[in-house]
Amino acid sequence: MTDPAATLVRARWYDGRSSQAQPVLVGLEPGPRGPGLRLHALMPGTAVPPPFFAHDEVEWPEAWRPSRAQRTVVVDLRRAGSLEIDDGAQWHAALEAAGARPGLAQRMQTRWRVFVGVLLAAVLALALFYRYGTPWAATQLTRFVPLGWEQSISQEAMRELDDGFLKPSRLPAERQAALRARFDALAAQLGTGEASSLHRYRGYTPRFELAFRSGMPANAFALPGGQVVVTDALVNEAAKAGLADDALVGVLAHEMGHVVHRHGTRLVVEQGVLNVGLGLALGDVSSVVSMASTVLTGLAYRRNHEREADCFAARLMQRAGLPVAPMADLLMHIDGPPTGGKDEAAASKDGGAPKSTDGTRTPSAADWLSSHPDTAARAQALKEGRGCAAGA
Ligand SMILES: [Zn+2]
């Protein structure tokens, strides 16, 4: 046992009614639930403090840091007034000597860490929900979107695009007819029972239509419901590269994959889920978070779409007895972001989406355009015929 006198700390006692301080010595004594506090009056006067306080009868100051050793420590004795101790370091040492569990300050820090941990876990859970939860919900909800709704939205989108940067095709009519014939043959292939395993949504029967347009760099895109658009630039690029039409047919098969998997509809439904969910959860903050989560989810989601569409194309081409390699060659040939066209098309190709002025993402015609990231990797995968077994 240490000498009790060694643990006595100088303090001023206030009775809580007058501003008059009384010098006292504070002794800290081990107790069952923690140190108790014994007061020794130095100047016995009119008001004498109660001599002993059990651990529970004291509001122990919570945070004490060695760096603040010069700070006055205030100990609340509740109805018995309060103590002021000038030597914080001595007080702390005496507390520890009396068996105070190591560091009230440390416990505060632990609580802080727990708080940060919980906060991080909550943020992570939210991020995971929007990364995986909303695409899943969108995929399920898309089952209930009627084909007629997709077709009317696509007509509207096509009008918007035609009023915008799309121009009529300048390809010769017979060239268009030849490619359309091959497109229709592919669509017919898909319609037969033999190829029914390629269908992603049971009972979903899109009406495939091929349209030719100019005014855009080498590209092809699909609208929900079956409208596929190919640009003159893509057709010309394939010819320039000396590729057989099988290359273009492969790209068209890929676009059919987007239709069959209803990727455009899923993106729009997902956006709806995000807006509604975040609107409910966060109110005003939603627009900012929604935008961020759209970018986050959009990148992986679209890459996933491209894989699905590629696998679909590879399987459909194989069933039709057509080679897949020319398509991969064409992809490699048109790799890289488009340099021409309007900003809207470029934004969509980059995987982002046009933003309205208030920061939220508003669905527009350009949303329906499919993006084609990681072209080199995709072309390689197509040629090697890998990546489909697991994903399809
Ligand atoms: Zn695509």
Whether the pLDDT of residue 103 is over 60: the answer is: no
Distance (angstroms) between ligand 1 centre and the Cα of 2 equals 80
Distance (angstroms) between ligand 1 centre and the Cα of 307 equals 8
Return phi, psi of residue 289, to 5°: -65, -40
Token pair 């969108």 is found at 138
Distance (angstroms) between ligand 1 centre and the Cα of 206 equals 17
- 264 within 8 A of 366, measured Cβ to Cβ: no
Distance (angstroms) between ligand 1 centre and the Cα of 6 equals 80
Same domain, 62 and 138: no
Same domain, 221 and 131: yes
Distance (angstroms) between ligand 1 centre and the Cα of 309 equals 6
- 311 within 8 A of 392, measured Cβ to Cβ: yes
Distance (angstroms) between ligand 1 centre and the Cα of 74 equals 69
Mean pLDDT, residues 141-161 taken together: 88
How many angstroms from the chain centroid is the CA of residue 250? 33
Same domain, 65 and 179: no
Whether the pLDDT of residue 109 is over 70: the answer is: no
Distance (angstroms) between ligand 1 centre and the Cα of 201 equals 18
Whole-number pLDDT of residue 65? 59
Distance (angstroms) between ligand 1 centre and the Cα of 253 equals 10
Distance (angstroms) between ligand 1 centre and the Cα of 348 equals 12
Whether the pLDDT of residue 341 is over 80: the answer is: no
Same domain, 192 and 140: yes
Distance (angstroms) between ligand 1 centre and the Cα of 356 equals 25
Whether the pLDDT of residue 170 is over 90: the answer is: yes
pLDDT digits (tens, 9 = 90+) for 274-323: 776 666 666 655 555 555 555 555 555 577 888 888 889 998 998 889 99
Band of the pLDDT at 215, cuts 50, 70, 90?
very high
For residue 84, give the CATH number of its domain.
2.30.29
Band of the pLDDT at 375, cuts 50, 70, 90?
confident
Strands (DSSP E) found in the chain: 9-14, 21-29, 36-41, 52-53, 73-76, 82-85, 167-168, 209-214, 220-222, 227-231
Residue 178 lies in a domain: yes
Q: Kind of pairing, strands 36-41 and 52-53?
A: antiparallel
Same domain, 48 and 148: no
Distance (angstroms) between ligand 1 centre and the Cα of 133 equals 23
Distance (angstroms) between ligand 1 centre and the Cα of 326 equals 16
Residues 195 and 209: their CA atoms lie apart, in Å, by 19
Whole-number pLDDT of residue 282? 63
Partners of 83 in beta bridges: 13, 75
Token pair 């100088």 is found at 10
Residue 107 lies in a domain: no
More confident residue, 132 or 260: 260
The set of long-range contacts for 130-136, using a CB threshold of 8 Å and a minimum separation of 24, is 130/274, 130/293, 130/296, 130/297, 131/293, 131/296, 131/297, 131/300, 134/270, 134/273, 134/274, 134/277, 134/293, 134/297, 135/266, 135/270, 135/297, 135/301, 135/304
More confident residue, 170 or 217: 170
Whether the pLDDT of residue 260 is over 90: the answer is: yes
Q: 273: domain range?
A: 123-391
Enter the pTM of the model. Answer: 0.59
More confident residue, 334 or 151: 151
More confident residue, 274 or 225: 225
Q: Give percent of the chain above pLDDT 90.
A: 20
Whole-number pLDDT of residue 293? 56
Same domain, 171 and 284: yes
Residues 186 and 189: their CA atoms lie apart, in Å, by 5
Three-class DSSP category at 383 = helix
Both tokens assigned to 30: 């081990």
Distance (angstroms) between ligand 1 centre and the Cα of 88 equals 68
Whether the pLDDT of residue 347 is over 50: the answer is: no
Same domain, 97 and 161: no
Same domain, 195 and 54: no
Residues 133 and 35: their CA atoms lie apart, in Å, by 52
Distance (angstroms) between ligand 1 centre and the Cα of 335 equals 13
How many CA atoms, within 13 angstroms, populate the side-chain half-sphere of residue 270?
Answer: 26
Same domain, 85 and 157: no
Distance (angstroms) between ligand 1 centre and the Cα of 270 equals 18
Distance (angstroms) between ligand 1 centre and the Cα of 52 equals 79
Distance (angstroms) between ligand 1 centre and the Cα of 360 equals 24
Same domain, 143 and 249: yes
Residue 194 lies in a domain: yes
Whole-number pLDDT of residue 169? 96
Distance (angstroms) between ligand 1 centre and the Cα of 369 equals 9
Whole-number pLDDT of residue 17? 83
